């Protein structure tokens, strides 16, 4: 009976069909005669075959999972199969499942796995940078490592918080039983997983030398490994736009009665503002990648200066996507921060309207700043003051988020649990990250810091010190709700402190090293920076070790210890904590009605907690 | 303890903290900020960085003091019964004060940065083919050619001689013309405070006036392929007389190849297609 | 049971990481150039060959250009060499590849060599090569060494198709000497856009160690 279940539309079939699809595409691509496309013979690089192969491989993978079933069955007039609507069994987590909670957990594990791979690459990069002269890796492999680390992290972390946490919790937070488009939801997850595998295949094709930004014309010169990067980001872009679309549609159409926009939990606002960015920025990425693909295969000249094109076009198009992209990374972290602080300060969110304005302000302004990546690249000098102003202005809405966080702490009754520790660390890290960003936004200062490790440390402070710390805050906060089991608090604190100290010990000196003249992505550096780099590398190894501590805690607590968490271990007044852990399949017995206050702390003196909603009657 | 006195204490701590840190920032850290004061561009950047640090200091001190204070003073004792804090949802005056001070700081920095940029002729940054702020008087044009994976330099006013080393006369306004023959590179002369991207087909102009003699490091600051990390050089700022004799010697040394060099131009488009051998 | 599954998972992951790291460290093995002592000074002889197509026996990319080094009479595709410090290195390059032309003609004048920066092409000493006739260069920028290599004429008879090439086939010979200084680790590269089919001729073999790029370890 068990064996019977292996046949059908599931992950195993998907992998098989994916591989078969890849080879079919590869064969199709090789039908292009080498004689008719002369660069094939000289270079030995058949990019056309690889692109076709990636396409057919991913299509095969998705068909194998069962994504084509619904459209095909409806076209044939048959009722749709019920497999995807199964409500029990661990098998749901390994295939196409339209339960948003299952998709949330799939995201958590899937993204977690790829983040660990990206992190491993970071450890290998720092190993190389221990000294400027001893080399561990082949020189071209170093650039592939740098590119793989950045690309994997950027691609995965864009959905890093929305994927796991918004999928699991957003419908619950707005009183819905499902997302607006459940099947598309599942699709975004599996697209991302396929993308991750596609990116890793780059090492079989020679890697890619451009780093995550993929600048032309270097991306045109590169070997076939570059095609993996292009396919990866195209799939990620597609996943991002669909995810954003789904979130916005869900919040607009599926809110419970009484839940007006002004009563939404701040996390939902974070998701909405991020989703707007995802929906608008990702298509630009897909377009620019299409142009790169055409340059590489059909020998068009979009970015080739000798053929009449311009590398500037690439830089601009990429950063029109790239800048909103980094706010896609920052905003969900802000949402989690402001969601967690009220719980552990036992106070309502301070300055709710200000915080929402901040998030929307960041979203709007993020489209107006991208040329700050191009300050010294020879752009029209008249433009620079405008972009300096717009970039500096973006610190204002960011400041609103800070002041809302600080106000929430005011006169609170603060409990330093692990999620709270990560949230407070977010404030510190993002402060350093934001301030270093002010240096970078100022053109005279940017002349020295652009393209140096200062710039790299800035974005690691905001993306890793901000987003990743918020990610862990979310994990320690919500995993008890998602699984029903506690994560060990003591080991969580060990993880936190080692991670926080080693993180600052790694990236703080890098701010200085960048100012002292070390360019990014360089495999060797001036001798006087060796001591500092060795210190940074050792700190980075400790940082990596803290991740292993987390992983051990995670596996041990959830697989072996399995201490039940109860429905509300944090005594939160938010709706998801008034439900059992894990949340039952249908979320609520009856759709709840929401009161006018998402954070009713302090409104009943002396009472530990009362439901934030009335009159929901969730089942035990 | 009343909330007002908490506020007073935080305010006092912030003022004291700023009073201690700000002078250190302005007088100790500021003058030692990179990239140093060898050139007018460098001096402009150091001044700019000092102003940035000074403006950031009060806000940073306030936020750090606040967080430290809040986490210590507002902490619930570990074994006490769970109680809520007061339901404070906002405070109009605080929000307005925050909004006004941060907006003022940001606008000041934007205006100051722009003014500094114009006053220093781009602060050593690449300003494109038509920079708006240019130094008057005599300039020495020096072309920097980025190619995979080396920088070479041409001096148009010395017969278009091309050299592999960069030497500059001190106390002379230099007009760098940075361009590339292939991929995007970036000419970063650290101690000079100059950074200008080398884009193929683009003439990226940066101005600098070195005021001290010495050696400076030149590094490529834009990933350009396998040897990006190894694309570095050492340049020298020397006395004008030394420069004159050096350039004369370079013209003699490279007279053999001079006839093959293309005429000096601000951009080049060498034929990129390799013939299969 | 769970313990076994988790332990198994850990082992699988560890094995995958080990495989990944091993793959990354893979690369050409360094070749130590044999030293000699002549007239009290250290010297070494480096004999190289540049070919138009390296062939499937020596590489999965059979049409890529490449450098080869002669090690005890056998040609190897290896571009990481170990040279003695404070020594004079005499280099001979047999070039079997055609002319591609330099993108920057400035690089056609050799630098960093002994004998007043002269080099010999087919035995004739020269100060500069016509840049359009260059086929490859040998350059160690950190030591200031750069030498252009003359390409064979398009209509030369008996051209070599795939490496390794015989001396009887059409070729040009370039010889030069330079001095290594203190010990160090330097990269070397070709500067001619000889990677046919790649944009600007600088992709593929021009950006892969083992073909037109490598390291010189001076010890």
Q: How many beta-carbon pairs under 8 angstroms link A with B?
A: 302
Residue C219: its pLDDT value, please? 86
Query: What are A421-445's pLDDT values in tens digits?
Result: 999 999 999 999 999 999 999 999 9
Closest residue of chain A to B75, computed from CA coordinates: A414
CA dist A536 and A546 (Å) reads 15
CA dist A22 and A58 (Å) reads 8
Q: Is A305 on the interface with C (CB under 8 A)?
A: no
Q: Do A136 and C24 touch (CB under 8 A)?
A: yes
Distance of CA A140 to the CA centre of its chain: 27
* pLDDT-derived band at C29, boundaries 50, 70, 90: low
Q: Is A410 on the interface with C (CB under 8 A)?
A: no
CA dist A433 and A418 (Å) reads 22
- Which residues are CB-neighbours of C151 under 8 A, at least 6 positions away? B277, C95, C97, C98, C99, C100, C133, C134, C135, C136, C172
Report whether pLDDT(A244) > 80: yes
Residue A619: its pLDDT value, please? 43
DSSP string, A550-613: HHHHHHIIIIII--B--S-TT---SGGGGS-SSPPTTS-SS---B-S-S--TTSSTT-----SB
Q: C20 lies in a domain?
A: no
Sign, CA torsion B249/B253/B256/B262:
negative
Of C103, C117, C127, nearest to B181 by CB-CB distance is C103
Residue C97 belongs to domain with CATH number: 2.60.40
Is residue A246 within 8 Å of A228, Cβ to Cβ?
A: no
Of A42, A206, A220, nearest to C199 by CB-CB distance is A220
Q: What is the CA radius of gyration of chain C?
A: 20
C88-95 and C41-51 strand pairing: parallel
User: What's the gap in Å between the CA of A545 and the closest CA on chain B?
Assistant: 28
Is residue A408 within 8 Å of A420, Cβ to Cβ?
A: no
Q: C185 lies in a domain?
A: yes
Residue B101: its pLDDT value, please? 96
Q: Do A606 and B190 touch (CB under 8 A)?
A: no
Closest residue of chain B to C97, computed from CA coordinates: B277
Q: Is A447 on the interface with B (CB under 8 A)?
A: yes
Task: Give phi and psi for B251, each to the nearest 5.
Answer: -65, -35
Q: Do B74 and A409 touch (CB under 8 A)?
A: yes
Residue B274: its pLDDT value, please? 40
Chain C residues whose beta carbon lies within 8 Å of the beta carbon of residue A204: none
- Which residues are CB-neighbours of C110 under 8 A, at least 6 positions away? C117, C118, C119, C127, C128, C146, C147, C148, C176
Chain B residues whose beta carbon lies within 8 Å of the beta carbon of residue C107: 152
Report whether pLDDT(A613) > 50: no
A308 token code pair: 């009449």
Sign, CA torsion A583/A589/A590/A592:
negative
Is residue A327 within 8 Å of A277, Cβ to Cβ?
A: yes
Of B67, B85, B194, nearest to A427 by CB-CB distance is B67
For chain A positions 337-396, those within 8 Å of chain B (CB to CB) are: 345-354, 375-382, 384-385, 388-389, 392-393, 395-396
What subunits make at least 3 CB pairs under 8 angstroms with A?
A: B, C
B69 token code pair: 């204070």
Check: pTM over 0.90? Answer yes or no.
yes
For chain B, residues with pLDDT lower than 50 are: 272-277
Greatest alpha-carbon pair distance for chain A in Å reads 83
Give B181: exposed, middle or buried? Use CB within 10 Å, 0-12, 13-18, 19+: buried
Q: C44 lies in a domain?
A: yes
Measured from the Cβ of residue B75, the count of other Cβ atoms closer than 10 Å reads 14
Least confident of A149-153, A497-501, A615-619, C178-182: A615-619
**In a 3-state reduction of DSSP, which class is residue A616?**
coil
Instruction: List % helix, strand, coil for chain B (3-state, nearest 5).
Output: 40, 25, 35
Across chain C, mean pLDDT equals 87
* pLDDT-derived band at A158, boundaries 50, 70, 90: very high
Looking at chain A, how many residues does it have? 620
Residue A486: its pLDDT value, please? 93
Report whether pLDDT(A610) > 70: no
Q: Is C29 on the interface with A (CB under 8 A)?
A: no
Greatest alpha-carbon pair distance for chain C in Å reads 78
Is residue B181 within 8 Å of C104, Cβ to Cβ?
A: yes
Residue A611: its pLDDT value, please? 42
Which of these, C7, C95, B133, lies nearest to A552 by C-alpha position? Answer: C7
Q: Is A260 on the interface with C (CB under 8 A)?
A: no
Is residue A257 within 8 Å of A233, Cβ to Cβ?
A: no
Task: Answer whether the bond into residue B35 is a cis peptide, omega within 30°.
Answer: yes
Q: C2 lies in a domain?
A: no
Residue A33: its pLDDT value, please? 66
For chain B positions 181-240, those within 8 Å of chain C (CB to CB) are: 181-183, 225-227, 230
Q: Is A408 or A38 the better-scoring residue by pLDDT? A: A408
Q: C178 lies in a domain?
A: yes
Is residue A600 within 8 Å of A612, Cβ to Cβ?
A: yes
C200 token code pair: 């600007």
Mean pLDDT computed over C106-116: 89
Is residue B18 within 8 Å of A423, Cβ to Cβ?
A: no
Report whether pLDDT(C163) > 90: no
Q: Which domain holds residue C74?
A: 31-218
Mean pLDDT computed over A322-330: 96
Q: Is C72 or B127 the better-scoring residue by pLDDT? A: B127
Report whether pLDDT(A191) > 80: yes
Query: What are A379-410's pLDDT values in tens digits?
Result: 888 899 999 999 999 999 999 999 999 999 99
Q: Do C106 and B162 touch (CB under 8 A)?
A: yes
Least confident of A15-29, A247-261, A547-561, A606-620: A606-620
Residue A606: its pLDDT value, please? 35
Q: C56 lies in a domain?
A: yes
Q: C180 lies in a domain?
A: yes
Greatest alpha-carbon pair distance for chain B in Å reads 89
**In a 3-state reduction of DSSP, which class is residue C35?**
strand
Is residue A56 within 8 Å of A198, Cβ to Cβ?
A: no
The number of C-alpha atoms within 13 Å of B26 and in the hemisphere containing its C-beta is: 11
* pLDDT-derived band at C33, boundaries 50, 70, 90: confident
Q: Where does B208-264 have alpha helices with state H?
A: 240-253, 255-258
Q: C39 lies in a domain?
A: yes
Of C187, C195, C213, nearest to B274 by CB-CB distance is C195
CA dist A111 and A89 (Å) reads 22
Residue A607: its pLDDT value, please? 34
Chain C residues whose beta carbon lies within 8 Å of the beta carbon of residue B226: 207-209, 213
CA dist C110 and C106 (Å) reads 9
CA dist A368 and A387 (Å) reads 7
Q: Is C64 on the interface with A (CB under 8 A)?
A: yes
Across chain A, mean pLDDT equals 91
Residue A40: its pLDDT value, please? 78
In chain C, how many domains are there? Answer: 1
Looking at chain B, how many residues does it have? 277
Q: Is A90 on the interface with C (CB under 8 A)?
A: no
* pLDDT-derived band at C198, boundaries 50, 70, 90: confident
């Amino acid at each position: 009976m068990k064996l019977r279940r292996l046949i059908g539309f599931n992950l195993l079939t998907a992998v098989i069909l994916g591989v078969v699809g890849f080879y079919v595409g590869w064969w199709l691509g090789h039908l292009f005669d080498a004689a008719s496309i002369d660069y094939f013979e000289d270079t030995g690089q058949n990019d056309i075959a690889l692109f076709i192969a990636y396409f057919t491989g991913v299509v095969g993978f998705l068909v194998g999972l069962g994504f084509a079933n619904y459209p095909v069955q409806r076209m044939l007039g048959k009722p749709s199969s019920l497999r995807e609507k199964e409500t029990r069994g661990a098998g749901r987590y390994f295939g196409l499942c339209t339960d948003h909670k299952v998709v949330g957990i799939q995201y958590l594990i899937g993204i977690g796995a790829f983040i660990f791979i990206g992190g491993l690459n970071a450890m290998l990069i720092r190993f190389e940078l221990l000294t400027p002269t001893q080399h561990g890796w082949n020189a071209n492999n170093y650039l592939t490592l740098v590119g793989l680390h950045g690309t994997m992290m950027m691609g995965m972390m864009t959905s890093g918080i929305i994927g796991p946490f918004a999928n699991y919790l957003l419908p619950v937070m707005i009183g819905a039983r499902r997302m607006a488009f459940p099947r598309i939801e599942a699709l975004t997850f599996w697209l991302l997983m396929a993308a991750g595998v596609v990116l890793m295949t780059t090492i079989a094709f020679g890697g890619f030398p451009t780093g995550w930004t993929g600048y032309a014309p270097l991306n045109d010169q590169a070997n076939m490994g570059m095609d993996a990067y292009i396919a990866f980001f195209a799939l990620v872009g597609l996943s991002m736009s669909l995810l954003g679309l789904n979130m916005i549609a869900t919040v607009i159409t599926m809110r419970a009665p009484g839940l007006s926009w002004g009563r939404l939990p701040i996390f939902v606002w974070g998701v909405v503002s991020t989703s707007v960015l995802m929906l608008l920025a990702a298509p630009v990425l897909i377009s620019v990648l299409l142009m790169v693909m055409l340059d590489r295969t059909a020998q068009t000249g979009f970015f080739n200066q000798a053929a009449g094109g311009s590398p500037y076009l690439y830089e601009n198009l990429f950063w029109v996507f790239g800048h909103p992209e980094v706010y896609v990374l920052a905003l969900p972290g802000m949402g989690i921060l402001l969601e967690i602080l009220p719980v552990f300060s036992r106070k309502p969110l301070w300055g709710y309207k200000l915080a929402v304005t901040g998030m929307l302000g960041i979203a709007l302004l993020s489209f107006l700043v991208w040329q700050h990546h191009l300050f010294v690249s020879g752009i029209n000098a008249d433009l620079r003051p405008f972009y300096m102003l717009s970039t500096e202005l973006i610190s204002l809405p960011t400041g609103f988020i800070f002041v809302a966080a600080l106000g929430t702490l005011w006169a609170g009754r603060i409990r330093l649990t692990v999620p709270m520790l990560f949230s407070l660390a977010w404030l510190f890290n993002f402060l350093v990250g934001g301030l270093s960003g002010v240096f970078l936004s100022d053109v005279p200062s940017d002349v020295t810091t652009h393209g140096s490790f200062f710039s790299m440390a800035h974005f690691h402070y905001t993306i890793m010190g901000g987003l990743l710390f918020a990610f862990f805050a979310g994990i320690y906060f919500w995993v008890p709700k998602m699984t029903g089991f506690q994560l060990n608090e003591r080991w969580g604190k060990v993880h936190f402190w080692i991670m926080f100290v080693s993180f600052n010990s790694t990236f703080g000196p890098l701010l200085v090293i960048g100012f002292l003249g070390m360019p990014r992505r360089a495999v060797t550096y001036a001798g006087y920076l060796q001591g500092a780099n060795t210190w940074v590398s050792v700190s980075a190894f400790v940082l990596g070790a803290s991740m292993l501590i987390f992983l051990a805690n995670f596996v041990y607590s959830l697989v072996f210890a399995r201490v039940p968490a109860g429905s509300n271990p944090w005594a939160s007044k938010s709706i998801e904590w008034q439900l059992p852990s894990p949340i039952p399949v249908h979320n609520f017995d009856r759709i709840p009605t929401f009161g006018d206050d998402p954070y009713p702390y302090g409104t009943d003196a002396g009472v530990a907690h009362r439901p934030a909603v009335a009159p929901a009657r969730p089942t035990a | 303890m009343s909330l007002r006195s908490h506020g007073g204490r935080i305010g006092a701590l912030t003022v004291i903290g700023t009073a201690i840190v700000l002078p250190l920032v302005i007088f100790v850290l500021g003058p030692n900020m990179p990239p140093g004061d060898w050139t007018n561009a460098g001096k402009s950047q150091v001044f700019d960085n000092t102003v940035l640090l000074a403006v950031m200091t009060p806000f940073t001190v306030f936020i750090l003091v606040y967080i430290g204070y809040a986490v210590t003073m507002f902490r619930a004792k570990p074994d006490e019964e769970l109680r809520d804090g007061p339901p404070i949802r906002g405070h109009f005056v605080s929000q307005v004060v925050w909004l006004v001070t941060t907006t003022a700081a940001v606008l000041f920095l934007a205006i100051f940065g722009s003014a500094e940029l114009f006053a220093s002729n781009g602060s050593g940054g690449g300003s494109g083919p038509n920079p708006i702020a240019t130094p008057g008087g005599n300039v020495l044009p020096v072309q920097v050619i980025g190619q995979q994976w080396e920088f070479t330099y041409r001096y148009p006013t010395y017969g278009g001689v091309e050299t592999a080393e960069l030497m500059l006369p001190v106390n002379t306004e230099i007009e760098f013309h940075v361009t590339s023959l292939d991929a995007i590179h970036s000419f970063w002369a650290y101690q000079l405070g100059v950074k200008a991207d080398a884009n193929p087909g683009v003439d990226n102009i940066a101005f600098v006036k070195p005021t001290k003699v010495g050696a400076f490091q030149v590094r490529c600051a834009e990933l350009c392929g396998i040897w990006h990390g190894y694309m570095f050089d050492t340049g020298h700022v020397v006395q004008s007389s030394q420069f004159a004799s050096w350039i004369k010697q370079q013209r003699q040394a490279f007279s053999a190849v001079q006839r093959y060099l293309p005429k000096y131009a601000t951009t080049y488009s060498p034929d990129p297609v390799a013939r299969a051998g | 049971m769970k313990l076994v599954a988790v332990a198994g998972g850990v082992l699988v992951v560890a094995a995958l990481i080990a495989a990944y790291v091993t793959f990354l460290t893979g690369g050409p093995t360094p070749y130590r150039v044999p030293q000699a002592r002549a007239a009290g000074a250290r010297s070494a002889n480096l004999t190289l060959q540049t070919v138009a197509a390296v062939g499937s026996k020596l590489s999965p990319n059979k049409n890529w250009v490449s450098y080869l080094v002669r090690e005890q009479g056998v040609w190897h595709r290896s571009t990481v060499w170990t040279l003695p410090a404070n020594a004079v290195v005499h280099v001979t390059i047999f070039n079997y590849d055609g002319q591609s032309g330099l993108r920057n003609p400035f690089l056609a004048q050799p630098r960093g060599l002994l004998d007043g920066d002269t080099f010999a092409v087919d035995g004739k000493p020269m100060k500069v090569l016509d840049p359009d006739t260059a086929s490859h260069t040998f350059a160690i920028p950190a030591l200031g060494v750069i030498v252009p290599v003359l390409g064979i004429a398009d209509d030369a008879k008996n051209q070599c198709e795939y490496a390794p090439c015989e001396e009887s086939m059409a070729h040009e010979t370039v010889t030069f000497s330079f001095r290594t200084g203190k010990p160090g680790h330097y990269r070397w590269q070709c500067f001619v856009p000889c990677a046919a089919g790649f944009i600007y001729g600088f992709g593929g073999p021009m950006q892969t160690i083992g073909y037109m790029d490598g390291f010189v370890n001076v010890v």
